[in-house]
């Protein structure tokens, strides 16, 4: 049996941990640069607030509602969800973190556990210890477990844990579940299925395998069909497999000079390197893309992407930032107003063993960079993200006298909450 533990309205729930006065009130979290809504509380959803709604439209669309608004605070979200995972680690026989707010658990060979009671007990412990509500779905395979977690979240009668452990329950769940919500299908293929008269997960499961193969010729869709019919065929390693990591962001305004672009690209590249180290992998290719604002038809448009191959695969911040900046130098063209940039690392593999190149880093240099990254990661974990950064990662601006001032972040986040669990300066003071 498999389970999936999902944090309910994750970003909103994280904000509410230190703002209990917001319980039962509409809350939204905005994207980078406070652009649009990316997370909503249940109350905000019931009001009709859609994901992707621009922030500036909230006051126009909902003038008589007191909506609590927060800028994205990924440092807080990552720390609190990490605490949830630590509890899952203690309670589950085996687990795998699938995303920031989801974790798969495995019960194979553990027949003595009452799974329904286990899920309800886990919910109570996480709420008591962290303050985050979770939903637990348990089923014979991962696709059905995802479906079960949906019912656990939507229906209070399940007491935060839904168990699908019989064919009768499976068929009932399939009939109630829209096909476009099925894990592995989503919006990409749902239009084709609905055009063929497939509206629910049950409709899809009733089609012949030959029809599925002829219509889609896709191994992921076939696996989904098999899992809806009760088979267990999504390999565990498929969940952990990442062929690439991308960090990108729209700018707060538009940028015309390469120095400011270099700072943003350096930060994105550093974040890619950090993610590689977190999953104990290295990358062999570093790519960078740039583009202008497609909505500004009055300005000249430009989009480009280039990549470079590293002589020695690495997760070193210094090496990856250097490679990204070298690619940026080739991409940049003067005379354009750039709105977005991104860094992509590819050719990802395990961080051990690494085969050095004759003209690349030697074993001593690789070890030195590893030790440096380990120290920096530790300092940033203890004292808060971006406590220690490369010089090229620091944003600079001119003051009224023309003197450069260094400041930590050029991202707009006017509604950002504090980080009381990771920064000494933000520790809550009780009066």
For every residue of 297-365, which 3-state class applies, written as one string?
CCCCCCEEEEEEEEEEEECCHHHHHHHHHHHHHHHCCCCCCEEEEEEEEECCEECCCCCCCCCCCCHHH
- Per domain, the residue ranges of the chain are 12-73, 77-236, 242-393
State how far the Cα of 155 lies from the Cα of 137, in Å rounded to an integer: 12
Compute the C-alpha angle 118/119/124, nearest 5°. 95
The arrangement of secondary structure in 12-73, i.e. its CATH architecture, is 3-Layer(aba) Sandwich (3.40)
3-state secondary structure of 368: helix
Measured in whole angstroms, the distance separating CA 174 from the mean position of its chain's CA atoms is: 27
* pLDDT at res. 405: 44
CATH of 242-393, picked from 3.40.50.720, 3.40.50.150, 1.20.59.10, 3.30.1490.100, is: 3.30.1490.100
Give the closest residue to 343 by CA, choosing from 365, 366, 320: 320
* pLDDT at res. 355: 59
- Averages of pLDDT over runs of 10 residues in the chain (431 residues) are 94 94 94 87 93 90 90 89 92 86 85 88 96 96 95 94 95 94 84 91 94 90 94 74 79 89 93 90 91 88 90 90 94 93 88 62 77 87 78 63 46 85 86 77
Domain 12-73 and domain 77-236, same fold? Reply is no
Token representation of residue 133: 């509500």
Helical axes 363-383 vs 317-331, angle rounded to 10°: 100
Token representation of residue 125: 């412990």
> Could you tell me if 325 and 332 are in contact, meaning their C-beta atoms sit under 8 angstroms apart?
no
> Could you tell me if 379 and 366 are in contact, meaning their C-beta atoms sit under 8 angstroms apart?
no
The arrangement of secondary structure in 77-236, i.e. its CATH architecture, is 2-Layer Sandwich (3.30)
């Amino acid at each position: 049996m498999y389970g999936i533990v999902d944090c309910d309205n994750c970003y909103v729930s994280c904000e509410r941990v230190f703002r209990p006065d917001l319980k039962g009130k509409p809350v939204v979290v905005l994207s980078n640069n406070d652009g649009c809504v990316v997370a909503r509380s249940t109350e905000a959803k019931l009001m009709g607030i859609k994901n992707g709604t621009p922030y500036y439209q909230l006051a126009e669309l909902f003038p008589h509602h007191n909506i609590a608004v927060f800028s994205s605070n990924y440092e807080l979200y990552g720390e609190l969800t990490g605490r949830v995972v630590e509890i899952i680690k203690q309670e589950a026989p085996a687990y795998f973190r699938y995303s920031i707010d989801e974790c798969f658990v495995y019960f194979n060979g553990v027949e003595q556990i009452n799974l329904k009671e286990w899920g309800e007990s886990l919910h109570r412990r996480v709420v008591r210890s962290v303050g985050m509500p979770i939903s637990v779905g348990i089923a014979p395979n991962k696709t059905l477990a995802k479906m079960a977690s949906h019912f656990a979240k939507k229906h209070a009668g399940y007491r935060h844990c839904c168990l699908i452990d019989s064919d009768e329950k499976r068929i009932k769940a399939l009939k109630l579940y829209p096909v476009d919500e099925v894990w592995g299908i989503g919006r990409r293929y749902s239009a084709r299925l609905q055009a063929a008269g497939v509206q629910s997960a049950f409709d899809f499961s009733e089609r012949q395998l030959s029809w599925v193969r002829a219509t889609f010729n896709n191994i992921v869709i076939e696996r989904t069909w098999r899992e809806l019919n009760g088979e267990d065929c999504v390999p565990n390693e498929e969940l952990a497999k990442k062929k690439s990591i991308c960090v990108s962001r729209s700018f707060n305004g538009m940028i015309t000079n390469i120095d400011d672009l270099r700072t943003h690209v350096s930060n994105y590249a550093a974040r890619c390197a950090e993610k590689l180290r977190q999953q104990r992998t290295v990358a062999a290719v570093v790519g960078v893309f740039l583009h202008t604002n497609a909505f500004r038809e009055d300005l000249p448009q430009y989009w480009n992407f280039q990549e470079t191959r590293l002589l020695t695969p690495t997760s070193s911040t210094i090496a990856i930032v250097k490679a990204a900046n070298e690619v940026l130098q080739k991409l940049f063209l003067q005379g354009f107003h750039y709105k977005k940039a991104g860094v992509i690392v590819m050719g990802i593999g395990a961080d051990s063993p690494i085969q050095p190149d004759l003209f690349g880093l030697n074993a001593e240099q690789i070890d030195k960079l590893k030790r440096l990254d380990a120290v920096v990661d530790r300092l940033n974990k203890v004292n808060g993200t971006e406590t220690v950064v490369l010089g090229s990662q620091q944003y600079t601006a001119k003051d009224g006298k023309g003197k450069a001032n260094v400041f930590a972040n050029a991202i707009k986040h006017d509604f950002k909450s504090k980080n009381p669990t990771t920064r000494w300066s933000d520790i809550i003071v009780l009066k």
